[in-house]
Structure formats: C-alpha cells, structure tokens
Amino acid sequence: MSKSDFLNLALEDYLKAMLNIYDSEKIIKVSEIAKKLNISKASVTQTIAKLKKLGFVNQESYGPVTLTFTGMETAKRIRDKNKLIKKFLTEILDVDDKIAERDACLIEHVLSITTINKMYEFLKKIEKLNDENYFGKINIDAKEEEIMETIKVKTLKELGKGHKGKIIKVAAKSAIKKRFLEMGVTNGSEIEITGIAPLGDPIEVLIRGYKLSLRKSEAADIFVEEINK
C-alpha cells in the first residue's frame, strides 16, 4: 500500500503501521513509521502530535513513540477490521490476494462498524473464521463508535474556507481552552470557516451565530468532524 493509492493517509493507517512495527520490533521509531508508510519524517511528526492530543500515543521529546492503552486497543481493532474485510473478499468473493489486500486498505476507511459486524457474523456462520486470530467481535459500544469516528477528524486549521464542521475536541492548554469555552467553542458545536485574512492568517469562523477570528496556530488545537452542507 503506497501513498499513491489515495490522497490523504488517515490516522487509522498510522495506528495500523505503529502496531505492526511494535509487534516486530517492540520499539516504534518515527523513521520506521515513515519508511512503512512511504512518507516524510516531518509528516509523521505532525501526525504523531495530533495522535498524542487525541490520547492514542505518547512520546517523550523526539524519542520513540508508544501506544497508549486506548491507542493499542484501537490499533488492534483497526488491524482486525482490515483482516476481516480481506478475509471476506478472498473467501466469499474469491478475490485475488494482492487485490484484496489493496481493496481492504481502502474500504476499511469508509465501512461502518455495523456492516463489519455483519461480515463477521456471516463468516462465523459459514465457519470460515478462526476465532483465535481475531480480537473478538467488534462491539457497537457508544464509546468505541466515538473512538472510531474520532479517527476521521481534521483540525480546524485544515478544514478550509467554506467548510463546516462539528467540534469533537478542544485540545488546547487550559488558559486558552477557557477562552474558547467562554466564546462558545465547545464540543458538539457547529463551526464554519467563513474567511481568511489577506496575509493568510488569522481565520474567520462562524460559530453560535456570530463571527470569531483566531490564529491558525490556535485553530490547530480544535478537532472537527467535517459536515457536508
């Protein structure tokens, strides 16, 4: 699976790659992740920062990366999701192994947990599944659904003019977080980017019916899930 297959590597791919590196080498180095995903170390570092804020990884300054408990669980589920889809494609639809591998990598980003569970149940029913390999049926638990959904987020900085999003997490330092809260920037509120200053920074957003401006560096702390208009 290479970068050319799709435009943006999802956070899921990072977690999957990290888990694989962990299994074979125990130590997750930024350089290893970059090699595995075929991207620059700089891109990896940026995303690690994001994953850290979301609570999936930990990293001592410039040291190796470690997966947190949540990160580990999520990564395992993502890997199993991938394995499950691949199994479904090869066993049921008789798709060629290499193609199934590539397709599974793409499909896993868009399929809902409900559908994946149905695949699981189907494969179990016709006895094509060996339980020991799998992390278990993916439970449709509210929190898990949240975690899985969280992986499809962007920061407000990346959202782009004219785009709308729903705020998932405000991961700022406490002084700035309090400022955000008093201005109405809270989890669950809708936010739309309505403009950018002539010099490229700050940006203007529409929130709770009024216009707010903030620097891109401040917007980078706000995680949103994009909503289609």
Partner 1 sequence: MDNKKKEKIFTIALVGNPNSGKTVIFNNLTGSRQHVGNWPGVTVEKKEGKLFYRKRIINVIDLPGIYSLNAQSEDEKVARDYLVFNKPDVVVNIIDSSNLERNLYLTTMLLEMGMNVVIALNMYDECNARKIKIDIKKLTDILRIPVVPTIATKKIGMKELISKIYEVMLNPSKCNLEIKYKSEIESDLDFMENMIKDYLTDSVDYPARWIALKLIEGEPELVKQIVKSLPEIITNKRKEIINNIENSSGEDVYVLISESRYDFIKNIIRDVIIHDNEESVTSVSDKIDRIVTNKFLGIPIFLIIMFGIFAITFKLGDPLKGWIEVFFEWLSKIASAGLTNLGAPGLLISLITKGIIGGLGSVLVFLPNIFLLFLAISLLEDSGYMARAAYVIDRFMHLFGLHGKAFIPLLIGFGCNVPAVMATRTLDNKKDRLITILINPLMSCSARLPVYILFTGVFFKKSQSLIVFSLYILGILLAIIMAFILNRFIYKGEEESFFIMELPPYRVPTIKEHFNSYVGKRQCLY
Candidates 189, 193, 223, 226: give the one binding partner 1 (CB under 8 A): 189
Residue 186 sits in the site that holds partner 1 (CB under 8 A) = yes
Check: CB of residue 116 under 8 Å from CB of residue 85: yes
Residue 198 sits in the site that holds partner 1 (CB under 8 A) = yes
Report 69-98 residues binding partner 1 (CB under 8 A): none
Apex CA 119: angle with CA 102 and CA 68, to 5°? 70
Structural element, H or E, at residue 194: strand 190-196
Residues 6+ positions from 149 with CB-CB distance below 8 Å: 168, 225
| Minimum distance of partner 1 from residue 175's CB (angstroms) | 4
> Measured from the CB atom, is 116 or 205 closer to partner 1?
205
Candidates 199, 220, 223, 226: give the one binding partner 1 (CB under 8 A): 199
Total of chain residues touching partner 1, rule CB under 8 A: 35
| Minimum distance of partner 1 from residue 221's CB (angstroms) | 11
Distance of alpha carbon 158 from alpha carbon 221, whole angstroms: 11
Structural element, H or E, at residue 153: none
Check: CB of residue 107 under 8 Å from CB of residue 115: no
Apex CA 150: angle with CA 179 and CA 224, to 5°? 40
Residue 24 sits in the site that holds partner 1 (CB under 8 A) = no
Report 39-58 residues binding partner 1 (CB under 8 A): 55
> Measured from the CB atom, is 109 or 164 closer to partner 1?
164
Binding mask of the shown chain, residues 203 to 222, with x at each position contacting partner 1 by CB under 8 A: -x---xxxxxxxx--x----
> Measured from the CB atom, is 32 or 218 closer to partner 1?
218
Helix 41-54, helix 11-25: angle, nearest 10: 100
| Minimum distance of partner 1 from residue 37's CB (angstroms) | 28
Check: CB of residue 28 under 8 Å from CB of residue 64: yes
Report 154-183 residues binding partner 1 (CB under 8 A): 170, 173-183
> Measured from the CB atom, is 201 or 226 closer to partner 1?
201
Check: CB of residue 204 under 8 Å from CB of residue 193: yes
> Measured from the CB atom, is 66 or 70 closer to partner 1?
70
**Quick one: 74 exposed, middle or buried, by C-beta within 10 A (0-12, 13-18, 19+)?**
buried
Residue 197 sits in the site that holds partner 1 (CB under 8 A) = yes
Q: Kindly list the residues in this chain that would bind partner 1 in the complex (CB under 8 A).
A: 55, 170, 173-184, 186-189, 195, 197-202, 204, 208-215, 218
